[in-house]
Structures are given as C-alpha cells and as structure tokens.
Chains A and B, each alone.
Chain A
Amino acid sequence: GNSVTQMEGPVTLSEEAFLTINCTYTATGYPSLFWYVQYPGEGLQLLLKATKADDKGSNKGFEATYRKETTSFHLEKGSVQVSDSAVYFCALAMNYGGSQGNLIFGKGTKLSVKP
C-alpha cells in the first residue's frame, strides 16, 4: 500500500546548523506531498506542500522538492533556530482524478536545536 518513511530521530543540532530530514514515499499513483510540524502540546501545522513532480515547497526558510525519480521529499533548512525545535511529519495524499484522499503520515522526526 501507500506509505511514508522518514528518518528516525531524535535529531539534535546547534543553532545555525544545516538541517536535512529525509522522507521517501511509496505510492501507486501520483500523490501530493506535505510536511507538517507539531510544537510541544499543540496540533499539527502545515509547513509546506508540493502537488506534482519537481515542485518545490517553501515556508519560513524550510524547503522540500518533490522528486519523482527518487520518490523523495526531503526537508531542508539552511540555518536552524532554537524555535524550530519540534516534531516534523512527512505526509502524502493520493490524488484520484482530481480528488484527494486522506493524509498518510510518516512516524515523525523530533528535532532539538541547542543554543
């Protein structure tokens, strides 16, 4: 079936370090891809998304490019801040003739940024 695999955490970085969180997917068709972030005690917030191959989603300094050839959607940020400490979820949603199914999430990657 359709699934998402993301790198195990936790990831601990120093402030201003470069961040990469790997995400790969398995899908029978052409999904939309998403990154969601969950801060402690809060719900999920959409960070960025891409709906077709080669699209790049970006927001708040984070970027991810939809790579169909490698079935990947890796999250990157050039310089992380302490406030970026959170759990990051990669997700996909299948598209069926213009209609989108439910979100399928990866297990999440916890990021801790130290000052």
Chain B
Amino acid sequence: GAGVSQTPSNKVTEKGKYVELRCDPISGHTALYWYRQSLGQGPEFLIYFQGTGAADDSGLPNDRFFAVRPEGSVSTLKIQRTERGDSAVYLCASSADTNTEAFFGQGTRLTVV
C-alpha cells in the first residue's frame, strides 16, 4: 500500500506475555519512528531509526521494550513480560529523511489483561 501499515490493528494479551508489533513504512523512507499514545494523551516518543540503526532510543520506558529494523524497512517493536500499564495505542511513522514530513500508521491498540 501507499501508506504506513501496522499489524495487528488490535492485540489483546495476558499480563506477563511477550508481544511483537509490526510496522511497514512507506517504501523508500529511511527514517522510522515509534510512539505510544495512552488514553487522553498525545503520542509519546519511544524510538527513532535512521536506516537499520536506532538513532535515538531514549524514549523506551525500560528494558522490557526493544525494537529492530534489520533491513532498514520493516520494524518490529517487542515488549517482554507485558504489564497492564503497557496498554496503549502504539503508533509508527516514517519519513523520507530526517526532518521531513512524517506519515503515521493507524496504530496497534494493545490491551494487556
């Protein structure tokens, strides 16, 4: 497709389980961002990739969160030992390069029960 695609759209998991969230950026976009949006809040930055490398991971809340982008395209956000407080919409965005317009996907709604 032409836009940023995130899968799954919704994910319900039990506390303590491991989850993976996938982001397919717009083809050719070198920059990729993950944000987390809790209910009633604006998106909160998690991590930024330029190509295959994480250029800034200062927003990851703790070591249960990890993200990869092995081939510089698709990215996966991985959450270990999920907690109820991890419940949120996880948004992915991509841009052609640094400091150009970022396009957001529709997000993955994660619910930890």
Q: Do A and B bind each other?
A: no
Chain B residues within CB distance 8 Å of chain A: none
